[in-house]
Structures are given as structure tokens and as C-alpha cells.
Structure 1
């Protein structure tokens, strides 16, 4: 079952908000990285490069958590626990260029490494917690 992202919190996934992505390491520990993200109305979208630790972790265990904290009000946040339901290279280059434009006003993405293969991950929300005070 897909959990809904409240409309009043979707800006935390569609604006230039750095989110924390938690994945599971092979030894069972948690890895947390700040990442750029997007939202397609159903899935949280993140992007990385093939063979990075995040990539290996999400391929081995698709259960992830995304935490978005409002940069203007740290007491307003959104936690999305979910499952990576698609891992694809299709559209990943365009996606990272769109994120780069949104977050740093540069397109194409300026930090691509030679031979790098970009990967797009679609995360299906299964549990959503939103908070504001």
C-alpha cells in the first residue's frame, strides 16, 4: 500500500531542500547521506551513480527512509519510510540535470566523473510522518 505525502509537505520534496537518505549497509548498520530529491506525485525520486555505496545498499535492501527538514523551520519536517520499487538508468541523466538546475542553478550537472553511469531510484512511500510546530 502506498502512503500519501500530505499536500502541505510536498514542497519539502519538490523544492531545493537537502534530504537525508538512510540505507542499510551489508553489515546491518545504517548509512545516512544528504541528497537531492524530487517527487513525481507518487514516488520520491533520488539519483546517484552506479556502484556507489548508496547504489549497492539500495540494490541489496530496498527499504529506505528519507527525512526532509524545512530549512526555514527545523520544527517542520517529513519522514518517508518506503521501498525502492524501481532502479533505472533510463532518464537518470536528465533527472540529475533537472536536480542540478533546481539546487545549484547549473545544468548540466557539473560534477559528473568520467565514465559515470547515473541511476534513478523510485521510492514508494509506505509510511509517512509529517510534523510542524
Structure 2
């Protein structure tokens, strides 16, 4: 069951703030990447090309942490389980996030022929700092 996001820190998910996504490598070490993300009212969603290491990590190990900060004294860490992995609607999701993060109506793929996947993360623990 999703832990709610505190209203005090909701803007970290609604404003175009780059998140840092931590996943678990096969050897147990963390891997961290900057990503776009959004919030559907219950879960955090991120999107990646299907051939990226972060994608393989989320599919195999099912856990991820999303960290968002607006300066060093206002941040939120969302730890959770990856509960859905889908290609359906993933490119549409990228278009929505492109609007949020760049102001453009459409996402332009970084590589020709890339396949996008949307990952839904159910927040199990939320840690916040600052007010």
C-alpha cells in the first residue's frame, strides 16, 4: 500500500525538478541516474529505454529509490517497489514529461528506434527534510 506524499513536499514531484533514481545492480551495488518523473496521485512513475541498466535493474530486482531536491535543505526520498512495468502508453508518458520538463509538446528520442518503458513505483517509505 502506498505511503502518502506529504503536501509540504509535493511540489518536488509537480515542478520540473530532476530526480535521481537509485536501483540495485546485479552485484548488490547501487546505481544512480538523473531522470524525469511524475506522480499519479498514488505512485511515482519513471520512464527509460528498455536496454538501459536501470531498466534491467528494476525488472530483475523490483526496488527503486527516487530522490528529489530543491537545494541542499529541501528534499524528499521515496523508497518503493516497482509494481508495474509496461511499454503500453510509455511514449505518451514521455510526451507528458517532455512538456513538464522542457515545455515542448513531444519527446524526441535520444536514439533512433529506442523502445520506452514506464515503471510505476509504489512508495513504501517517504523521508523528507526541510519545510
Category of TM-score, reference length = shorter chain: over 0.9
Q: After TM superposition, give the deviation of residue 15 of structure 1 in Å.
A: 1.1
Matched with 2:89 is: 91
Whole-angstrom distance in 1 between the partners of 2:111 and 2:127: 36
CA contact under 8 A between 2:22 and 2:64: conserved in structure 1? yes
Q: After TM superposition, give the deviation of residue 75 of structure 1 in Å.
A: 0.2
Matched with 2:114 is: 116
Matched with 2:20 is: 20
Unaligned stretches of 5+ residues in structure 2: none
1:129 aligns with 2:127: yes
Matched with 1:81 is: 79
Greater mean alpha carbon deviation, residues 46-55 or residues 106-115: 106-115
CA contact under 8 A between 2:37 and 2:97: conserved in structure 1? yes
CA contact under 8 A between 2:2 and 2:43: conserved in structure 1? no
How many residues are paired up?
131
Q: After TM superposition, give the deviation of residue 28 of structure 1 in Å.
A: 1.1
Deviations 1:31-77 (A, max 9, x none): 0001000000100010001121111000011111111001xx42010
1:35-46 to structure 2, matched below 5 A, reads 35-46=35-46
Unaligned stretches of 5+ residues in structure 1: none
TM-score (norm 1): 0.93
Matched with 2:102 is: 104
| Equivalent position SS for 1:16 | coil
| Equivalent position SS for 1:97 | helix
TM-score (norm 2): 0.95
